[in-house]
Amino acid sequence: MLWQVSVMRRALSHAAFGLFAVAMLSGCGSAEDRPGSDAGANDGGPVATPVLEVGTGKDNFVTLRETDTIEIIHGPQGGWHLWGALRTKGLTPPLTVDYAISLPETQTELSRTVYDVDPLAVGSWSIWAGLIGYLPDPSLAAEKAVLLTMQVTDANGVSLRSSARAVAGPLPSCPTEPMPGNTCAGSP
């Protein structure tokens, strides 16, 4: 009978320690340590400022500088586009992305497409590449300054806007048998 009491005490002691550990660990870390947290917003503590950067890239985010050239892509279905990409910090996915391409000199908008994306976490950033900025008439952008602008809204309604300026490349050469209505270098 004595050994049963000893086993019971040990079992109760392990259970009590387990509950204590769970209670203590649930308080570990602060809300500021979690991405997208708004902790500290009303208590005077630090708040992470959301960040949005616009770039280019089909598979990865590539930072753009004003002197960089973005290739005009002739897609397999006959359309033309510029790849857009974004990276963010402090936003809660999923994100709604309003992606526009314009000519900064004339403020002419060439394209606008809205996407819903769930970016990939890469280190401290969330990244999404391969956004298609369709160009109905690529000759309007060829070898000119272009402005890629993205308005991003997260799951909590936080909205950011950012742009990147670059130069659109020349029109690619026509395929051996261009599709009707396509504009390419050297075509009528």
Bridge partners (DSSP) of residue 73 are 81
- The confidence band for 48, taking pLDDT boundaries of 50, 70 and 90, is confident
Q: Does this model's pTM top 0.75?
A: no
Residue 177, in any domain of the structure? no
CA atoms in the 13 A half-sphere facing the CB of 161: 5
Residue 148, in any domain of the structure? yes
CA distance 70 to 144: 10
Contact call for residues 98 and 114 (beta carbons, < 8 A): yes
Residue 44, in any domain of the structure? no
User: Which H helix or E strand runs over 137?
Assistant: none
Residue 135, in any domain of the structure? yes
Looking up residue 82, the CATH number of its domain turns out to be 2.60.40.10
Q: Total domain count for the chain? A: 1
More confident residue, 143 or 31: 143
Residue 29, in any domain of the structure? no
Query: Residue 12: its pLDDT value, please?
Result: 38
Residue 20, in any domain of the structure? no
Residue 60, in any domain of the structure? yes
Compute φ and ψ for 25, nearest 5 degrees.
-70, -30
Contact call for residues 116 and 91 (beta carbons, < 8 A): no
CA distance 108 to 103: 5
Bridge partners (DSSP) of residue 82 are 133
Residue 19, in any domain of the structure? no
Could you tell me the CA-to-CA distances from 117 to 64, 83, 92, 142 in Å, in that order?
21, 15, 11, 28
Whole domain around residue 116: which residue ranges? 51-168
The mean per-residue pLDDT over the stretch 83-97 comes to: 97
What percentage of the chain has pLDDT greater than the value 70? Answer: 66
Query: Residue 172: its pLDDT value, please?
Result: 79
